[in-house]
C-alpha cells in the first residue's frame, strides 16, 4: 500500500483481488437510452450469461443487444473470426432495419485473440454506408469496471461526432429521460439555454443524432466515470466545466451554478429557477435524515459513484463515512468532490477484497454499499448491504430525485429495524 496526498486527504492505494462487474454491464442502461442502437458483444457464453442476467430476459420485445459467441475454433485461431463476424452483422442488419447505429463491443475473449474490432467497424461501416453507422468499444473485464463501459462507448461516439463552431452546452453522461427533461427545463428557466445558444444531452436518445462538437462547445459531466470521454472531448476542442456532480441539493445547485458561470448567467437567475425544486428536495430529504443521521457507512469500490454519493450522504444526511472505496481515482474529474469531503475521510483506491472484508468485520459498519457478489455473504454475517448496481439503474440525479437517493440508503436500514421490532 502507498499513500499519495490530495486535497490533504490521504488516498490509500490497494492492489489485489477485485470484485467488480465488467464494462459489458453498461449495455443494460445504454441500450435503453439510445433507442436506435444495437450492441453486439463479440464474446463468450459467459459474456452472454452476464448480459442476460443483468438485463433480464426480454421475451416479448426484439432485444437491442446480443452476443456473437466465439467458438473454440475462433479462439484457437482455426477460423477466420472476421468473416464470421461479417456474416452475423449482415444477417442482423437484414432482419432489423430499425438499427441505425451498431456498436461492436469487445470482451475478454476478443481481446485475448486480438480481434481488431476497430478495423471490423470501419469495414462494416463502409459496406453498409448510408444504412448504418458501425462503431466499436471495449467492455472487457480485463480493461474496464462496470461503469467504464459507458465511458468507452461515449468515447467512441465523440470520435464519430461531426464538427461545429456553434456555441453550446453539452451535458455528458447517460441520464434517464425524466431527469434529462427536468434539467432541460431548469436550463430554460434559468436562462442558461439562451445564453449557451443550444443545450444537448450526450448520449442522445437516438444514436444517429450525435451532437456536433468543436471549439465553442462547453461540456459538463453528469456522471463521474467519464474520464476517457472528458479527455477526448477536450481533444476535440471542447472545454470542460468543472463542478460537483448533480447529486442531492448541494451537488445539483453547484452543478447549475457552474453551468451558469460558464455562460455568464446571473446568480439571481439560478436562485430563482432552483428555489421551488430545492424546497421540494428539502421536504423529501427530511423523511430520511432521521434514519440516516449518525449511521456508519462503508462504500466498497464498484460503481465509481462512491465519492459524490459519500459527499451527498455526509453533507445532507449527516452520515458517518467509515471508508470510501473507489475502483480508480481520476483526480481532475473528482477534484471538486474531494474538496467537499471531511479531512479525516478514509479513501481507498483499487481493491484487495480480502483485506477490505477484514476491515469491515472489524469496524462493523451499519451499511455496506457493494456489488451483488459480496452482498449475500455480508448479509449472512449480519451486515446490512445495499447493491451499488441499483444506483446506476435508478434515477438519482437532480433536485427532484434527492429524496429517492436518500431512500435507497435508508430503506435497508429501515427494513432491518422493522425485522428487529
Binding site for ligand SF4 (CB under 6 A): 22, 24, 43-44, 46-47, 50, 107-108, 139-141
Element (H, E) at 220: strand 217-221
Nearer to ligand SF4, 110 or 336 (CB): 110
Q: Closest distance between ligand SF4 and the C-beta of residue 368, in Å?
A: 23
Helices 372-380 and 353-363 pack at an angle, to 10 degrees, of 40
Q: Which is nearer to ligand SF4, 69 or 118 (CB)?
A: 69
Q: Is the Cβ of residue 22 or residue 68 nearer to ligand SF4 in the bound state?
A: 22
Residue 27 near residue 148, CB atoms below 8 Å? no
The minimum distance between CB 145 and ligand SF4, in angstroms, equals 10
Find the shortest distance in angstroms from Cβ 136 to ligand SF4: 14
Between 43 and 371, CB nearer to ligand SF4: 43
The conformation of residue 23, written as its DSSP 8-state character, comes to: G
CA dihedral 48, 54, 60, 65 (to 10 degrees): -50
Report yes or no: 388 and 302 within 8 Å, Cβ to Cβ: yes
Cβ(89)–Cβ(102) below 8 Å: yes
Strand partners, 105: 41, 137
Cα gap 25→147, rounded to integer Å:
7
- Determine the 3-state secondary structure of 6 from DSSP: strand
Residue among 21 and 247 whose Cβ is closer to ligand SF4:
21
Mapped onto helix, strand or coil, the DSSP state of residue 267 is helix
Q: Nearer Cβ to ligand SF4, position 108 or 310?
A: 108
d(CA 121, CA 30): 19
**CA-based R_g, the chain, Å:** 22
Place of cell 456536433: 212
We find the least distance from the C-beta atom of residue 158 to ligand SF4, in angstroms, to be: 23
- 47 or 170, CB closer to ligand SF4? 47
- Report the DSSP pairing between strands 9-15 and 5-6: antiparallel
- For the bound state, the minimum distance from the C-beta of residue 67 to ligand SF4, rounded and expressed in Å, comes to 9
Write down the least CB distance from residue 152 to ligand SF4, Å.
12
Q: Are 370 and 391 in contact (CB under 8 A)?
A: no
C-alpha dihedral sign at 193, 195, 201, 207: positive
Determine how many CB atoms are found less than 10 A away from the CB of residue 156: 22
Nearer to ligand SF4, 51 or 378 (CB): 51
Amino acid at each position: 500500500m502507498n499513500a499519495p496526498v490530495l486535497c490533504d486527504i490521504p488516498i490509500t492505494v490497494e492492489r489485489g483481488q477485485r470484485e467488480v462487474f465488467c464494462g459489458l454491464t453498461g449495455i443494460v442502461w445504454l441500450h435503453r437510452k439510445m433507442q436506435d442502437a444495437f450492441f453486439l458483444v463479440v464474446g463468450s457464453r459467459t459474456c452472454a450469461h452476464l448480459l442476460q442476467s443483468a438485463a433480464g430476459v426480454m421475451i416479448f420485445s426484439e432485444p437491442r443487444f446480443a452476443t456473437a459467441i466465439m467458438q473454440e475454433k475462433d479462439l484457437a485461431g482455426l477460423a477466420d473470426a472476421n468473416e464470421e463476424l461479417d456474416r452475423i452483422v449482415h444477417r442482423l442488419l437484414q432482419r432489423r432495419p430499425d438499427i441505425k447505429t451498431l456498436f461492436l463491443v469487445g470482451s475478454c475473449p476478443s481481446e485475448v485473440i486480438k480481434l481488431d474490432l476497430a478495423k471490423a467497424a470501419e469495414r462494416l461501416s463502409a459496406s453498409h454506408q448510408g444504412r448504418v453507422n458501425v462503431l466499436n468499444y471495449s467492455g472487457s473485464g480485463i480493461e474496464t469496471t462496470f461503469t467504464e463501459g459507458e465511458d468507452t462507448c461515449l468515447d467512441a461516439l465523440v470520435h464519430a461526432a461531426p464538427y461545429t463552431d456553434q456555441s453550446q452546452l453539452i451535458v455528458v453522461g447517460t441520464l434517464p429521460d425524466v431527469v434529462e427533461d427536468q434539467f432541460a427545463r431548469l436550463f430554460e428557466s434559468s436562462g442558461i439555454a439562451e445564453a449557451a445558444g443550444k443545450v444537448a444531452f450526450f448520449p442522445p436518445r437516438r444514436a444517429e443524432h450525435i451532437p456536433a462538437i468543436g471549439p465553442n462547445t462547453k461540456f459538463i459531466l453528469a456522471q463521474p466515470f467519464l474520464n476517457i470521454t472528458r479527455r477526448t472531448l477536450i481533444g476535440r476542442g471542447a472545454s470542460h466545466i468543472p463542478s460537483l456532480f448533480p447529486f442531492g441539493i448541494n451537488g445539483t445547485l453547484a452543478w447549475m451554478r457552474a453551468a451558469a458561470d460558464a455562460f455568464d448567467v446571473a446568480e439571481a437567475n439560478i436562485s430563482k429557477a432552483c428555489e421551488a425544486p430545492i424546497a421540494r428536495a428539502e421536504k423529501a430529504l427530511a423523511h430520511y435524515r432521521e434514519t440516516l443521521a449518525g449511521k456508519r457507512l462503508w462504500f466498497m469500490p464498484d460503481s465509481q459513484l462512491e465519492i459524490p454519493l459519500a459527499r451527498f450522504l455526509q453533507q445532507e444526511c449527516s452520515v458517518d463515512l467509515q471508508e470510501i472505496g473507489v475502483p480508480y481515482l481520476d483526480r481532475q474529474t473528482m477534484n471538486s468532490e474531494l474538496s467537499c469531503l471531511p479531512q479525516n475521510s478514509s479513501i481507498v483506491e483499487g481493491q484487495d477484497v480480502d483485506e477490505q472484508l477484514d476491515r469491515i468485520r472489524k469496524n462493523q459498519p451499519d451499511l455496506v454499499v457493494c456489488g451483488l457478489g459480496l452482498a449475500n455473504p455480508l448479509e449472512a454475517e449480519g451486515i446490512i448491504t445495499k447493491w451499488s448496481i441499483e444506483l446506476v439503474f435508478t434515477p438519482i440525479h437532480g433536485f427532484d430525485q434527492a429524496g429517492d437517493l436518500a431512500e435507497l440508503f435508508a430503506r435497508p436500514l429501515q427494513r432491518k429495524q422493522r425485522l428487529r421490532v
